[in-house]
Structure 1
């Protein structure tokens, strides 16, 4: 649509002897009709919008294809499971009484084993292809929504909204497809049967934050790591132009997050001479409670978003001198994983080396502490998975690396190299969520996420 302002100027200009003569109808000489169009400096790119809508049709076709593949995988997997079960029973019988089976029968069993192995290889290849396609679709949708966000800011919001809704619907369909894919081939979400992280996906960029400004470089977003019944789809977001924590915003689902339609905004400003604010972008939400670093006094705090009550506890020996590499005031960093609630910090006694503490969620006390060997200011960020601490560091402007792990169960530390791509060079927030096995990053005002794959020895998805 081109915004046009039309000015119709009707001039009756035949002047006879100083008097204005009437303009004779149909007379070309008795007057002139001027139609002037004043166009704005920039016109709405309707062609771009049509192109985006065509892209939506293409993406929808791809998604429908992937959904049908997942349905086919479900059927195939049931067949494979039945074959493997029958084969296992047969082999057990043969082991109990090997003399009852001749060479021909043994050869037949070997053939069945090879057939099952071939089926597993085929399914594994299909899974990897589908995972790659889903990641590609998500990236494509994220880029388009970023373009739509820019158009919405610059041009007619109502025109953009229709196309935006189409892409939000596609995002929801993609989320459902990914969920079914994960449940089918990664059924152990929430269960720690793996031996650690194997790899991290490409960054999945949702869009610019709810405040639509990259100046809000400090912040975080994600899901509740231990959601209350009925709030499993809830997302939260908090950000600011500095490291002060003033508020947290809740969204009922991903669609509402992208559409910037919150259902609750919690203010942590000073009220009744009581300062509820925090500092640092190191918070986590667990059981509808926000855990964050209290501003004054220096302590860990919990804001119950159901009852709107607050509590804080001083962490013995925790120091304000040691923050992460990317951001100031990251003195207490909270994490919630499959096995509980955690906090990392450094002390004067540890000379800046990272200390990990397990928090008792009922008493809100640090009940157990582990000392690591890594210097906190050299660390980009940390997160917890199944009781294991993972620490990251910068490789270059485009690459981050998980370089260190500490297992609280065995008290063993190790140095590893698991690189992953950064959306932009500096980021303020990185945390793992056990409900969907994703990493959530807040990167220069953008919502960024990553899929996490684990080592599963003997599994269909293992490499």
Structure 2
């Protein structure tokens, strides 16, 4: 029998008999033989964390297959009580601001009243004398009394403001009373957990989800998200990237405009700086580049030297070429480019397994060749002939040792072909993606961020990817 609920509890670390940490939360994943589907994210009903088991079955090998929906991030945002609490917090903030205004105004007006207190005593004394002995009020004394009263006239709007403030205080008092009643009702409904405690529990779960994502192994590409346009800059052709290997604390972005004879590389401090086009330094390469198939790997730029099949490793920190080596037999100068041309004969890329070169040769009859490179020496470690004609490919990228090839660089393109270097086998695929600006001249995967970087008709665009992952535990 399949015990899907226990599997789900093991997945999210809620097993009470032993301390189990989650293995995977990436959509979809295979954990202990159980498929975890995170395509639909809702705040559902496994009571302790919001997980729900949808179905269970067994495959041909007798493995338990469970479909489990994981909770969405920021679960409290979907809770109607959260909306009530946010509204209450806004009201409390408004009340606090009103009280501050009242306090400031009252303090100011009180100072004014105190300053006029002596004047009021003088006027009061003169009025008493005039009322007891009207004959004592001569024209001069009458004018003095009139002047004193005139000085007191500004007190009238102050007193009117006091009346208005008194009404506001009554309204605020009623608001506070209503807030107290609503808070008591929510507290009674929520039981032992207050909002802050629930929020902390959600943040803890999200931290665990993120930790699991970082520990995930390789997987098979099953989907590509809608495009995310980061910036529109440069010419129709170019490339942009972040380092595929350095720690996540390094957020630098590099941009290389154009596809041939370029030497200018812009290095931005952060992605936000790249979006704004600010805070960058310029690297002037000693040799011009060809194509757009460049990659930044562990602090160095790997690129194809113009009008040659030479690969150059340029180190950003020392601003020097560390090594250059000819890729034996590789075509260059638009001999075997992608379908869009642009001197894209040699495409360098990196994934979870290291550094790669995608190209073709005359002996391979123009079919795509994959070579894994040694990053320090640029020596070819191993080579595969995919059998797929390079001129029929729009672009390609590596994920987990698998080369994925698009069938076009124009609108309507899809990921059409996959070659698996671990088994030296291939299959035709049908993975659509939205080519928003209709002309892709660069498409590369970043394993550190698990996104696709593309240069699309002068637009710098990102795609998130969905990987099907098989996660094995020590018990398997």
Fold conserved between structures, TM > 0.5? yes
Contact 1:190–1:434 (CA under 8 A) maintained in structure 2: no
- The aligned residue for residue 447 of structure 1 is 460
Match of 1:184 in 2: 209
Distance 1:376 1:193, change over 3 A: closer
Measure, in 2, the Cα distance between the counterparts of 1:436 and 1:183: 17
Shift of residue 406, structure 1, vs aligned partner: 1.3
Q: Secondary structure at the match of 1:127?
A: coil
* Alignment check: 8 A CA contact 1:299 1:312 kept: yes
**Runs of 4+ more than 4 Å apart:** 77-80, 113-118, 180-183
Q: Which structure 2 residues correspond to residues 384-395 of structure 1 after superposition, within 5 A?
A: 384-394=398-408
Alpha carbons of structure 1 residues 345 and 80: separation in structure 2 relative to 1, 3 Å: closer
2:263 maps to 246
Determine the C-alpha separation between the residues in 1 that align with 2:430 and 2:17: 41
C-alpha displacement at 1:81, in angstroms?
A: 3.1
Unpaired runs of at least 5, structure 1: 1-76, 90-112, 134-179, 269-274
2:430 aligned residue (417, 423, 426): 417
Q: Deviations over 1:294-327 (max 9, x none)?
A: 0154311111111111132111111121100123
**1:221 offset after TM fit, Å?**
0.9
- Could you list the per-position Cα deviations for residues 223-253 of structure 1 after superposition, in whole angstroms to 9, with x for gaps in the alignment? 10012x585211111113x533322111111
Aligned residues of 1:431 and 1:439 also touching (Cα < 8 A): yes
Q: Which residue of 2 aligns with 1:426?
A: 439
1:81 aligns with 2:100: no
CA-to-aligned-CA distance 1:423-461 (integer Å, 9 cap, x gap): 1111110000011100000011111000011113699xx
Q: 2:324 aligns with which of 308, 312, 317?
A: 312
> 1:400–1:411: structure 2 CA closer, same or farther, 3 Å change rule?
same
Per the alignment, do residues 457 and 287 of structure 1 end up closer, same or farther by CA in structure 2, a change over 3 Å counting?
Answer: closer
Q: Which residue of 1 aligns with 2:98?
A: none
Residue in 2 that maps onto 1:127: 72
SS at match of 1:281: coil
Question: Is the Cα–Cα contact under 8 Å of residues 243 and 280 in structure 1 kept in the other structure?
Answer: yes
> Contact 2:240 / 2:253 at 8 angstroms: preserved in 1?
yes
Are the aligned partners of 2:291 and 2:345 in contact in 1 as well (CA < 8 Å)?
Answer: yes
1:426–1:282 distance in 2 versus 1, CA, 3 Å: same
Q: Is 1:339–1:387's contact at 8 Å kept on the other side of the alignment?
A: yes
Q: Is the 8 A contact 2:50 2:70 kept in 1?
A: no
Aligned counterpart, 1:218: 237
TM superposition shift of 1:84: 3.5
SS of structure 1 residue aligned to 2:386? strand
Residues 95-119 of structure 1, C-alpha deviations (whole Å, 9 max, x = no match): xxxxxxxxxxxxxxxxxx9879982
2:419 to 380, 384, 406: 406
Q: Is 1:235 the counterpart of 2:235 in the alignment?
A: no
Distance 1:187 1:81, change over 3 A: closer
Secondary structure (helix, strand or coil) at the match of 2:212 reads coil
Q: Distance in 2 between matches of 1:386 and 1:79?
A: 27
Contact 2:9 2:15 in 1 (8 A): no
Q: TM-score, normalised by structure 2?
A: 0.57
Give the match's secondary structure for 1:450: strand
Query: Is 1:206 matched with 2:151?
Result: no
Partner residue in 1 for 2:353? 339
Check whether the contact 2:216–2:471 (CA below 8 A) recurs between aligned residues.
Answer: no
Structure 2: tracts of 5 or more residues without a match: 1-7, 21-44, 55-67, 79-204
- CA distance in 2 between partners of 1:284 and 1:84 (Å): 44
Q: What is the alpha-carbon distance in structure 1 between the residues aligned to residue 411 and residue 304 of structure 2?
A: 29
Cα separation, 2, equivalents of 1:191 and 1:78 = 18
Task: Name the structure 2 match of 1:35.
Answer: none
Structure 1 residues 458 and 301: CA distance shift in structure 2, 3 A: closer
- The answer to whether the 8 A contact 1:245-1:280 is kept is no
* Residues 242-291 of structure 1, C-alpha deviations (whole Å, 9 max, x = no match): 533322111111111112123321012xxxxxx51111111010112111
Cα 1:456–1:369 change in 2 (3 A) is closer
- Distance in 1 of aligned mates of 2:208 and 2:414: 28
Deviation, structure 1 residue 387: 1.1
Give the superposition deviation at 1:189.
3.7
Query: Structure 2 vs 1, CA of residues 182 and 236 (structure 1 numbering), >3 Å: closer, same or farther?
Result: farther
